[in-house]
Amino acid sequence: MKSEEDAFGQMIWAYYKGKEVFEIWERDDGYISVALPKTYFSEYADWPLHQRKAMEFVKGSVLDVGCGAGRHSLYLQKKGLDVLGIDVSPLAVKVCRLRGVKKAKVMSIEEVNFKPRAFNSVIMMGNNFSLFGGFKKARRLLHKFHRMTTQNARIIAETRDPYRTDNPTYLEYYELNKKRGRMSGQLRGRLRFERYIGKWFDWLSVSKEEMVEILNETSWKVKEFIDSEDSQYIAIIEKMA
Ligand SMILES: C[S@@+](CC[C@H](N)C(=O)[O-])C[C@H]1O[C@@H](n2cnc3c(N)ncnc32)[C@H](O)[C@@H]1O
């Protein structure tokens, strides 16, 4: 990634340096949303209950995919687990290291290629199931995850049920997506920060039924869902023998 494309990392870096910043996301139909990045730096005690519960399922050697500013890596590392955080953003990885993440690497989810049985757990927190991007890419990456994880491994993945909204611009967008042959919750967007503009990417939000359909014909199966008070939920996904 070119440094001028690392809008997410620049935003994380500015926040880390004490600036007041916003996360600006632009959808490909022109819809703009704004969020505060403080969640990326939040401590375990401040996480919602479903996220804290999910951490009980993480074991052994852990791959934190899209680790951001490293909040989950830091928590698990403190508990004595061997954690590797990967993120496509070089500046996010720099912030992780400065915050004490022992193993953090610049790597995109598309590039993961670890040795067989390297991890017992893969975590995709902060709605990072969405990094699977689309149906086919998800299946391809799940196949890769199979090879690089041990028997009885788990994927702990968070996403948002796209249909649990009454925001008309989202409902219209899902219709537009269906017309263009995409999954309803396959959001195409890019991040912006000051003069930095990220590349367009697909961010896949799925209902529980859609997640189960993606996992069908793979060697992964949902063991249980952990619900939150809103549309976010976490799937505990287990490797089948
Ligand atoms: C919503 S944030 C979640 C961060 C962190 N997991 C958390 O919960 O605080 C998404 C993260 O995924 C990273 N990311 C985006 N595209 C990626 C890709 N293709 N491969 C790996 N990481 C990616 C972003 O840089 C960002 O750090």
Average pLDDT over every residue of 75-80: 98
Q: pLDDT digits over 21-44, tens only?
A: 999 999 999 999 999 999 999 999
- What percent of the chain shows pLDDT beyond 90? 98
Output 24-32 pairs: Cβ under 8 A, ≥24 positions apart: 24/191, 24/192, 24/193, 25/189, 25/190, 25/191, 25/192, 26/189, 26/190, 26/191, 26/192, 27/173, 27/187, 27/188, 27/189, 28/188, 28/189, 28/200, 29/169, 29/173, 29/176, 31/169, 31/173
Q: Which sign does the torsion angle of CA 163, 164, 168, 173 carry?
A: negative
Host H or E run for residue 27? strand 23-27
Is the pLDDT reported for residue 232 higher than 90?
yes
| Residue in 72, 76, 87 to alter for ligand 1 test, most ligand atoms within 8 A of Cβ | 87
Q: pLDDT digits over 120-159, tens only?
A: 999 999 999 999 999 999 999 999 999 999 999 999 999 9
How close is the Cα of 209 to the center of ligand 1, in Å? 24
Is the pLDDT reported for residue 107 higher than 90?
yes
pLDDT on residue 166: 92
Is the pLDDT reported for residue 2 higher than 90?
no
Instruction: Identify the residue whose C-alpha is closest to ligand 1 atom 18.
Output: 108
The model's confidence at residue 3, banded by pLDDT at 50, 70 and 90, is confident
The model's confidence at residue 241, banded by pLDDT at 50, 70 and 90, is confident
pLDDT on residue 175: 96
pLDDT on residue 45: 98
C-beta of residue 68 within 8 angstroms of C-beta of residue 87: yes
Average pLDDT, the chain: 97
Neighbours of 24 (CB within 10 A): 18
- What percent of the chain shows pLDDT beyond 70? 100
How close is the Cα of 132 to the center of ligand 1, in Å? 11
How close is the Cα of 174 to the center of ligand 1, in Å? 23
| Residue in 12, 111, 128 to alter for ligand 1 test, most ligand atoms within 8 A of Cβ | 128
| Residue in 131, 155, 192, 203 to alter for ligand 1 test, most ligand atoms within 8 A of Cβ | 131
C-beta of residue 228 within 8 angstroms of C-beta of residue 50: yes
Q: Which sign does the torsion angle of CA 91, 94, 99, 102 carry?
A: positive
pLDDT on residue 84: 98
Average pLDDT over every residue of 73-102: 98
**Beta-carbon-side half-sphere exposure of residue 169 (alpha carbons within 13 Å):** 9
Is 126 exposed, middle or buried (CB count within 10 Å of its CB: 0-12, 13-18, 19+)? buried
Q: Which residues line ligand 1 (CB under 6 A)?
A: 8, 40, 66-68, 71, 87-89, 92, 108-110, 125-128, 131
Amino acid code (one letter) for 236 = I
How close is the Cα of 237 to the center of ligand 1, in Å? 19
Q: pLDDT digits over 160-202, tens only?
A: 999 999 999 999 999 999 999 999 999 999 999 999 999 999 9
d(CA 209, CA 222): 11
C-beta of residue 25 within 8 angstroms of C-beta of residue 189: yes
Token pair recorded at residue 138: 């998800």
